[in-house]
Amino acid sequence: MIDPWNRVMTNLMIAEKGVCENFSNSETSTPAEFPTLFIGIINNADDAVDLENSENGVRSEIRLQSFSNKNMTEARKVMSVACDAMRLMGYRRTFGPRELENVHDRNVKRMEARFRRFVGSLDDIPRFEEN
């Protein structure tokens, strides 16, 4: 199975260094630490198969949510860095970034964006270098 999630997660952790140090792959409305960036898979469906039914490409769809317990400016900064990083990995934003009301805790500011990209079996998402 072609699964770009690990590379995306690692790259976002590198890109966010100094801006956001908390990451989650478990969906929650109120993370334990702030700011936090949630990285989740919406879809990773087959998009190209060969005559032997081998997977040759997937349509990778990633959802990001940024959380801040300070203000929306901090949540926007985290999301802005993440959006730039996703673009460098070849993803196109298909939704957002949009502010979401956090009904479980109105003191927590939350933003969401969604991204999509075709990832082929011979395709390699660029690896970010740590500074």
Domain boundaries, the chain: 5-120
Percentage of the chain exceeding pLDDT 70? 100
Indicate whether 63 pLDDT > 80.
yes
Quick one: average pLDDT of 6-23? 96
Beta strand residue intervals within 16-126, DSSP E? 22-24, 36-49, 55-68, 92-100, 109-120
Task: Say which CATH topology domain 5-120 has.
Answer: STM4215-like (3.30.2000)
Give the model's pLDDT for residue 65: 96
- Distances, alpha carbon 18 to alpha carbons 40, 41, 82, 100, 112, in Å: 22, 24, 13, 24, 20
Q: Which amino acid is at 46?
A: D
Burial 82-102 (b: 16+ CB within 10 A, else e): bbebbeebebeeeebbeebee
pLDDT (tens digit per residue) in 76-97: 999 999 999 999 999 999 999 9
pTM of the predicted model, to two decimals? 0.91
64 pLDDT more than 80: yes
Q: Is the pLDDT of residue 131 over 80?
A: no
Task: Give the DSSP letter of residue 116.
Answer: E
